[in-house]
């Protein structure tokens, strides 16, 4: 009997449950997809070092899944509570018919099990199919080739999903039983009639709070963007974050009163059609939903910021990679090692005779001496990089140094600049396929591609008085700005500055700082390339063993290692961002939708009155559309404003890793994803509400 009753109830309230069910299914599907990543086909076909990255990613996703499960769990408990409260009258009738609370709990229990099992099953099926599709995207991200398509099912992910959601449903049952045990029959029967007292806020206080909150937000925005330099410790981020949360709460607390007051003054808008009604509807409800609106707004803010900046990060990394890795390998070592020196921690560091001698020969000589067959390399160019105390950062910045120290207190300004002779640089530039430069005898050029540092250097260069002396000869800058270029291959624009001087510059052998070798691998097929790569990177490489036995140190950066590290990094960040972003988005959209739908019984009466006093269906639908539209719109708009500053902050923090010009495509992608999910919830809510207010 109870079984039949609960099953009938489900059918009856299918409209109410639709959004709840949709959210559960989406939650299950996404949870499965991201937890099944490890067994996906693409993962089986990536290289060894990528496997390490994937391992890291899987373990990070695992941790994040716990967090996601908590969010989903809270969402489910919250949503369920809403639906139960909506059915108070039904339970009241059962109780007057002699049903005990225990039996009502049983009905709800059965319903929860029904909904749970069905949503889990449907969600898993969707998840399993969607993960096949995701596999293709993963393969593209890791640049693995997927020659054959194989259907993959992850048993582990499936079991994990079932356990996590099982626990959530048990929590829901527990909460439901608690809710039911607190019910009083009289309250249940009168649930529909209860006349909620409308809490009105003093308009003047509302306006005051609104402006105070807006100023707090403005200050927080300023703090994280224009004043970002003061954020040198993580702890200092806390005040702006708290201000952001407080400001958001304040805005929602006061917004509707504020808008109402403003519109009331504009009589021609206020006294037009159903405007007055719509505004009051919003004012009435937003007052009771300050906290949930704020939570939704902040979740949307995180979604937008996380999605946009992570996608921008990925785009920048990928574009940077192609540009910044024109050769297969860079090898360099420190030149002119002294017998000993005192490092900056005050410890004495000594070098052996062998180390000192080795530092005075070229990289190539060292390699050959230790048994490398130079035939594995081609296009070999080796240049010296100089440094002299006559030209340090401090000297370069000259009179501007105080200003710059204020901005970047942590930089070591007594470090000598790296100096390269123009013909040496041009040799490398020619191989890299980047711009070559010419110099007169008394000129120098600064090449730099790290945007923040470049703009600092430009400040100095634009004054045009920056002259320095090496070996009693004066040099002035050829250009009044830094030029683009680099020597060391890397993931992105990280060259903080190299000074190019004429070949005639009297740099002594003793001022040689580094020997720097660039080369391509003399290999054609992927297999051959990997073999050469192993000589310089594998743990079993004989060359590396010999060098380390002698205490010799050659630093190497290969294109492959850069690629893998950065593709891996980008992919981890992107995956986690998409995972979290979508979960936040679903959670906030679902809360909004459920709130609207469950309050539709109040709305129903009100819209019925409108109908009775002569509103036609068109006017009513328009009013409903605007009401729901504004409800979905307000948190989104504030979230977008937050994000404008949030994204700038993230870009600044990731300086160099993600660039502004990569933002547009990622913002477009974010808008599409958000538009689809948020829009779908909005439409579902609108049509659901429309049905409810139409019901007889």
Cα dihedral across residues 358, 360, 363, 366: positive or negative: negative
φ, ψ of residue 474 in degrees (nearest 5): -95, 145
**Beta carbon of residue 696, minimum distance to another protein (angstroms, whole number):** 12
DSSP state for residue 266 in the 8-state scheme: S
Q: Which residue has the tokens 């070591």?
A: 412
Helix 14-35 with 48-86: angle, nearest 10 deg: 160
Q: Give the span between the Cα atoms of 313 and 309, in whole angstroms.
A: 6
Segment near another protein (CB under 8 A), from 277-285, 473-481, 528-536, 580-588?
277-285
**Shortest separation between residue 193's beta carbon and another protein, angstroms:** 11
Per-residue binding string, another protein, 212-251, x by CB under 8 A, is ----------------------------------------
11, 147, 195, 474: which one contacts another protein (CB under 8 A)?
A: 195
Smallest gap, in angstroms, from Cβ of residue 276 to another protein?
A: 5
Choice from 63, 271, 291, 409 touching another protein (CB under 8 A): 271
Q: How far is the CB of 608 from another protein (least distance, A)?
A: 8
Query: How many residues in the shown chain lie near another protein by CB under 8 A?
Result: 30
413, 393 contact by CB (below 8 A): yes
Which stretch in 127-135, 270-278, 482-490, 626-634 sits in contact with another protein by CB under 8 A? 270-278
* 518 φ, ψ (degrees, to nearest 5): -120, 150
Binding track over 249-268 against another protein, x by CB under 8 A: ------------------xx
Stretch that binds another protein, among 57-65, 90-98, 196-204, 317-325 (CB under 8 A): 196-204
Q: Is 28 exposed, middle or buried (0-12, 13-18, 19+ CB in 10 A)?
A: buried
Residue 178: CB atoms within 10 A of its CB come to 11
SS (H, E, C) 330-392: EEEEECCCCCEEECCCCCEEECCHHHHHHCCCCHHHHHHHCCCCHHHEEEEEEEEEECCCCCE
Please, which residue, 111 or 599, has the CB nearer to another protein?
Answer: 599
- Least CB distance to another protein at residue 606 (A): 6
Q: Which is nearer to another protein, 274 or 558 (CB)?
A: 274
Residue 270 is a binding residue for another protein (CB under 8 A): yes
C-alpha R_g of the chain: 33
Please, which residue, 373 or 616, has the CB nearer to another protein? 616
In this complex, which beta carbon is closest to another protein, that of residue 351 or of residue 625?
625
Rounded to a whole number of angstroms, the minimum distance from the CB of residue 617 to another protein is 8
The DSSP 8-state label assigned to residue 274 in this structure reads: T
Chain residues 571-610 in contact with another protein, contact rule CB under 8 A: 606, 609-610
Of 148, 197, 472, 510, the one binding another protein (CB under 8 A) is 197
Report which of 43, 49, 225 is spatially closest to residue 134, judged by C-alpha positions. Answer: 43
Q: Tell me which H or E stretch contains 598.
A: helix 559-598
Burial 490-505 (b: 16+ CB within 10 A, else e): bbbbbbbbbbbbbeeb
Residue number, 89 or 473, with CB nearest to another protein: 89
Residue 362 within binding range of another protein, rule CB under 8 A: no
Residue 603 CB, shortest distance to another protein, in Å, is: 10
Nearest distance in Å: CB 5, another protein: 31
Nearest residue to 116 via CA among 153, 73, 86 = 73
Rounded to the nearest 10 degrees, how much is the dihedral formed by the CA atoms of 397, 398, 404, 405? 110
Least CB distance to another protein at residue 260 (A): 11
The one among 36, 206, 256, 274 contacting another protein by CB under 8 A: 274
| Least distance to another protein, CB of residue 598, Å | 17
Minimal distance, residue 688 CB to another protein, in Å: 21
Question: How many angstroms separate the CA atoms of 9 and 110, rounded?
Answer: 11
CB of 287 to another protein, least distance (A): 11
User: Could you say which of 23, 281, 310, 491 contacts another protein (CB under 8 A)?
Assistant: 281
Nearer Cβ to another protein (264/522): 264
Q: State which residue, 460 or 623, has the beta carbon closest to another protein.
A: 623
Residue (148 or 196) nearer to another protein, CB: 196
By C-beta, is 171 or 276 nearer to another protein? 276
- Report the SS3 class of residue 523: coil
> From the CB of residue 128, how many other CB atoms can be counted at a distance below 10 Å?
19
**CB-nearer residue toward another protein: 58 or 610:** 610
Q: Hey, how many other C-beta atoms are within 10 angstroms of the C-beta on 291?
A: 11
Distance, CA of 612 to chain centre? 51
Query: What angle do helix axes 101-141 and 155-181 make, rounded to 10 degrees?
Result: 150
What are the residues whose beta carbons fall under 8 Å from the beta carbon of 517, sequence distance 6 or more? 330, 331, 332, 362, 363, 364, 380, 381, 382
Decide: is 286 part of the binding site for another protein (CB under 8 A): no
Cβ atoms < 10 Å from Cβ of 440? 11
Q: What count of Cα atoms within 13 Å lies in the side-chain half-sphere of residue 79?
A: 29
Contacts of 614 (CB under 8 A, 6+ apart): none
Question: Applying CB under 8 A, which of residues 94, 277, 301, 397 lies at the interface with another protein?
Answer: 277
Q: Which stretch binds another protein (CB under 8 A): 243-251, 275-283, 443-451, 550-558?
A: 275-283
Other beta carbons within 10 Å of 276: 15
Residue 229 contacts residue 259 (beta carbons within 8 Å): no
**Given the complex with another protein, which of 130 and 276 has the nearer CB atom?**
276
Nearer to another protein, 286 or 673 (CB): 286
Binding part of the chain for another protein, among 206-214, 279-287, 383-391, 450-458 by CB under 8 A, reads 279-287
| Neighbour-count burial for 82-113, b at 16+ CB within 10 Å, e otherwise | bbbebbbebbbebbeeebebebbbbbbbbbbe
Q: Which two tokens stand for residue 120?
A: 């889990």
Residue with smaller CB distance to another protein, 410 or 613: 613
Q: Smallest distance, Å, CB 312 to another protein?
A: 44
Measured from the CB of residue 64, what is the shortest distance to another protein in angstroms?
42
* Site mask for another protein (CB under 8 A), range 604-643, x = bound: --x--xx-xxxxxxxx------------------------
- Residue from the set 283, 305, 558, 598 that interacts with another protein by CB under 8 A: 283
- Name the minimum Å distance from CB 283 to another protein: 7
132 or 275, CB closer to another protein? 275
CB of 693 to another protein, least distance (A): 14
DSSP 8-state class, residue 241: H
Note the residues at the interface with another protein (CB under 8 A). 195-198, 200, 267-268, 270-277, 280-281, 283-284, 606, 609-610, 612-619
């Amino acid at each position: 009997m109870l079984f039949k009753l609960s099953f009938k109830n489900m059918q009856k309230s299918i409209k109410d449950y639709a959004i709840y069910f949709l959210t559960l299914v989406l939650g299950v599907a996404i949870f499965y997809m991201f937890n099944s990543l490890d067994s996906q086909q693409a993962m089986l076909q990536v290289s060894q070092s990528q496997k390490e990255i994937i391992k890291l990613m899987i373990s990070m996703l695992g941790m994040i899944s716990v967090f996601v499960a908590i969010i989903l769990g809270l969402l489910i408990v919250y949503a369920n509570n809403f639906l139960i409260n909506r059915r108070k009258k039904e339970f009241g009738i059962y109780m007057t018919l002699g049903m005990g609370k225990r039996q009502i709990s049983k009905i709800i229990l059965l319903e929860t099990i029904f909904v749970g099992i069905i949503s889990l099953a449907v969600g898993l099926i969707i998840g399993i199919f969607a993960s096949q599709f995701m596999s293709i995207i993963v393969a593209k991200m890791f640049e693995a080739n997927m020659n054959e398509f194989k259907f993959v099912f992850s048993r582990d992910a499936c079991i994990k999903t079932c356990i996590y959601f099982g626990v959530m449903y048990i929590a829901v049952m527990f909460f439901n039983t608690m809710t039911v045990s607190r019910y009083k029959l009289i309250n249940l029967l009168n649930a529909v009639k209860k006349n909620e007292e409308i809490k009105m806020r003093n308009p003047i206080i509302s306006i005051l709070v609104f402006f105070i909150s807006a100023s707090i937000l403005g200050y927080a925005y300023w703090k994280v963007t224009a004043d970002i330099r003061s954020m040198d410790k993580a702890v200092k981020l806390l005040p702006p974050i708290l201000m952001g949360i407080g400001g958001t709460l304040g805005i929602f607390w006061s917004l509707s009163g504020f808008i109402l007051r403003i519109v009331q003054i504009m009589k021609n808008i206020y006294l037009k059609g159903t405007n007055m009604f719509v505004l009051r509807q919003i004012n009435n409800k937003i007052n009771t939903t300050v906290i949930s609106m704020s939570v939704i707004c902040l979740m949307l803010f995180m979604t937008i910021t996380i999605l946009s900046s992570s996608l921008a990060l990925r785009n920048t990394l990928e574009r940077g990679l192609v540009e910044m890795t024109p050769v297969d390998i860079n090898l360099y070592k420190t030149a002119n090692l002294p017998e000993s020196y005192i490092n900056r921690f005050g410890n004495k560091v000594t070098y052996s005779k062998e180390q000192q001698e080795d530092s005075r020969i070229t990289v190539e000589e060292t390699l050959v001496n230790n048994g490398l067959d130079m035939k594995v390399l081609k296009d070999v160019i080796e240049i010296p990089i100089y440094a002299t105390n006559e030209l340090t950062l401090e000297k370069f910045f000259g009179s501007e140094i105080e200003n710059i120290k204020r901005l970047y207190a942590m930089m070591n300004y007594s470090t000598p600049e790296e100096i390269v002779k123009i013909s040496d640089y041009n040799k490398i530039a020619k191989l890299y396929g980047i711009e070559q430069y010419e110099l007169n005898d008394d000129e120098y050029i600064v090449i730099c591609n790290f945007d923040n540092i470049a703009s600092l250097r430009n400040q100095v260069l634009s004054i045009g008085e920056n002259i320095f002396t090496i070996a009693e000869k004066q040099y002035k800058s050829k250009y009044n700005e830094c030029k683009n270029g680099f020597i060391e291959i890397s993931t992105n624009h990280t060259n903080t500055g190299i000074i190019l001087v004429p070949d005639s510059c009297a740099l002594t052998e003793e001022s040689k700082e580094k020997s720097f070798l660039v080369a391509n691998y003399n290999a054609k097929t992927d297999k051959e390339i990997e073999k050469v790569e192993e000589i310089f990177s594998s743990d079993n490489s004989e060359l590396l063993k010999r060098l380390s036995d002698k205490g010799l140190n050659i630093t190497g950066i290969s294109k492959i290692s850069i690629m893998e590290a950065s593709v891996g990094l980008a992919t981890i960040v992107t995956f986690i961002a998409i995972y979290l972003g979508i979960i936040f988005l679903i959670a906030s959209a679902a809360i909004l939708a459920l709130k609207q739908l469950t309050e539709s019984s109040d709305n129903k009466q009100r819209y019925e009155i409108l109908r009775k006093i002569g509103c036609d269906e068109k006017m009513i639908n328009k009013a409903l559309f605007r009401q729901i539209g504004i409800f979905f719109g307000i948190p989104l708009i504030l979230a977008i404003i937050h994000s404008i500053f949030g994204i700038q902050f993230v870009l600044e923090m990731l300086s160099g890793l993600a660039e502004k010009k990569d933002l547009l495509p990622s913002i477009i992608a974010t808008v599409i994803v958000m538009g689809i999910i948020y829009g779908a919830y909005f439409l579902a809510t609108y049509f659901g509400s429309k049905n409810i207010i139409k019901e007889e």
